[in-house]
Structure 1
Amino acid sequence: MGILTIQPVPFPARVPTSFLPIGWLIFFVAYLPALTCYFCIGSTFIMQRDLISNYSLSNCPHVKSPLPPISYSIGKWEPQKHVWIIALILHLPSRLVLTRNVPQIYLPGLGRNIFFTAATLEALGLCCVTIFTVDSIIGFHAHAAFFVLWWVATMWCMGIIIHLQRLIGQKDNDPHTMRMWWVKIYIMAAFFSISVCASISYPISQNACSIIAFTIFCLCEYSVVGLNAAFWAVYLTEFAREFDGFQVTAVILPKGNLSDGTATPLEEEQEPLPGALVVKVAY
């Protein structure tokens, strides 16, 4: 029975603290969604070969498409739909950590607020696109609207990040940062150009029953997923050059009443780990 005896100890015995490595967060935020999306598309050609061979344009039932759109690969056909949902569940916690804390490397102001808002809307748009699929009760147009929300928020994030790095002169202090700044501009330009191509080719494919236009639309869809992941990978890899991760530390609240002076002083704060951003959680 001795090994089962619980010895009395002070409570709390220590301040609860955990460390979240930035490398793992980058993987779950930037790489996991894109890799999962491409896995779902690729596996569709093997597991849903019969569906693809019979898949036709919505307004042109006599026109067959050789490529599946992303919306069907991750939102309708199984088991790809379930694989995507699992990836999204793994993606969101890391995304929330970075969305809440990465903008804080900039001084308080409009730029930081825009960055936080845009990153939040991008994550929200991705969730809504997954939940409200093309066959959901609110219909295809709502699905398309949430996709537009994701696209606008992504462009917003890209633009504000590039602008903030230019505004504070961050790119002028390091040749590597300068090169990566131009890489982000090229990725943003490609993302915008391909998105415009997709927005033009889709209505053409439906109105003119053009299989070429629909194929271009599908390829553009595949490309914007990769470009989004590439942008976040580049930016967060730069972030990882300065920070090793996030230290989450609980903060003990003062005892007593602050107004009458009976509150006990806070315990000394723990020193953050080298290269860590500190996220304090009060309980």
Structure 2
Amino acid sequence: MNALWTWLFDPANWGGAGGIWQRIGEHLIYSGVTVLIASLVAIPLGLWIGHTGKGRLLVVNLVNGIRALPTLGLLFIAVLLLGPRLSGDLAFLLPAIFVLVVLAIPPILAGTYSGVDEVDPSARDAATGMGMTPGQVLRDVEIPCALPLIFSGIRSATLQVIATATIAAWVSLGGLGRFLNDGQASQDYGQMAGGALLVAVLAVLVDLVLAGLQRLLVSPGLSAPRQTRRRRRGEADAAPSAGAAGAAGSGSADARSVSVDAAEPSST
């Protein structure tokens, strides 16, 4: 712990080439580009699968299959296959981004598909009854209702990418993984622990930013827990029944009152 705090609070480790701020910036660039590419691939595919109901087995098999792949081994294979065909830093950067994109696609795809698939069918029927086209139903009904789970998939993918982007250092790239790799090579365990701590803190901060963005873009009613929404729908469905039961009970009471009055003898 002493070595960790000594390395972390040393001003010389924060500035200049190869400093902490530079490595954080590189790590954010790798992660941001990865999540952006993965979202451009997974969100349209997830919307199409959830809207049409086709390819559901693709989601399950793809998600389970990709998650079982060893990330570091896949990185080395990508470098061996793509590296000779590229030049300069691209020979290592593109394979690393490719591997991270493969890692980020499953949670975004699963979240998008699940969000559209769980939209209340009555909302779709109402939109169709109003004359909306399938494209309008997807744009104006399904996507807004699916936003909580879409954001959940993006946040999950972002956390995984930030944690795994450290593998870029194993193919001579930058990022916070350099502290882990270089610290291990020089047996500087304070540097290794500091790099790991920085990765964890960065992941938490980015997740908080995404949570704030989700709060701004998603309707508060949709952000409520699923059990709460179901309970509200159940109470709304039960309200008419309760009203009808109350009316029936009132009618029965009035009928009993009339029958009692009719049974009493007249004073005249």
Q: Structure 1 length normalisation: TM-score?
A: 0.27
More helix by share: 2
Higher strand share: 1
Structure number, greater radius of gyration:
2
State the TM-score, normalized to the length of structure 2. 0.28
